[in-house]
Amino acid sequence: MIELNNVAYSYGGGELLSEIDLTIQPGDFYFLTGPSGAGKTTFLKLCYGDLTPTAGEARLFGQDVRTMDRDAHAMTRRRIGVVHQDCDFLDHLPLADNVALPLTVSDRNDLEQVANLKELLSWVGLKQRAKALPPELSGGERQRAALARAVIMSPDLVLADEPTGNVDWEMSQRLLQLLIELNKMGKTVIIATHDMNLIRAAKAKVQARVLRIANRHVQLAGADL
């Protein structure tokens, strides 16, 4: 699904990430941890092709990122749901339209999907806010909306960048539960977080592996948490 072979990335200074060798299989559930500024967001961007490795090779669904054209990237994005850390929305459209955006831009806005949308919005507790504009939402509401938007296309892979950063414990449990359920349906999930409690809570419910970024390297952490 995602293959990283000896990947390194640098924003122009020294290398931020080096020698990443990792293969992510369908159905995997990963946590990605590391201190702030370690490169979690950068790693996720490499995984959805927003950044091209400065060294090594990244393959998404078998395709080398370097050889993909813009349309190929667009098609790949439809198979990967991304929850951005800074949750970008179209501020002039109501929340429901923003959540449905991936369907709209891929011309899949049919009736069945509209039913899905309602269900999804009530799942993330935003049914009452469907008509609100993004700037009117709280940080937590934005994160829930971003998660709903990331999963509405029923993607093969969900990447979530600190999805629980702005929500209370109870809501973070619900978001986690949604991601776990997606994983049980066969989706691959990668969650970047520095919330150890969240990881512990998840480990009780799902076979989750933990990647830790330390000293520019991404390593699989042991079972001890």
For ligand ADP, the binding residues (CB under 6 A) are 11, 16, 34, 36-42
Transcribe 148-183 into DSSP letters: HHHHTT--SEEEEESTTTTS-HHHHHHHHHHHHHHH
**DSSP label at residue 16:** S
Is residue 142 within the footprint of another protein (CB under 8 A)?
A: no
Is residue 193 within the footprint of Mg ion (CB under 5 A)?
A: no
Is the Cβ of residue 39 or residue 53 nearer to ligand ADP in the bound state?
Answer: 39
Is residue 41 within the footprint of Mg ion (CB under 5 A)?
A: yes
Residues 64-103 binding Mg ion (CB under 5 A) are: 85
Q: What is the 3-state secondary structure (H, E, C) of 81-112?
A: EEECCCCCCCCCCCHHHHHCHHHHHCCCCCHH
Is the Cβ of residue 84 or residue 129 nearer to Mg ion in the bound state?
Answer: 84
Tokens standing for residue 50: 């927003």
Residue carrying structure tokens 């990447």: 159
CB of 87 to another protein, least distance (A): 10
The contact set with another protein (CB under 8 A) reads: 50, 70-71, 73-78, 82, 84, 88-90, 92-93, 97, 101-102, 104-106, 109, 149, 153
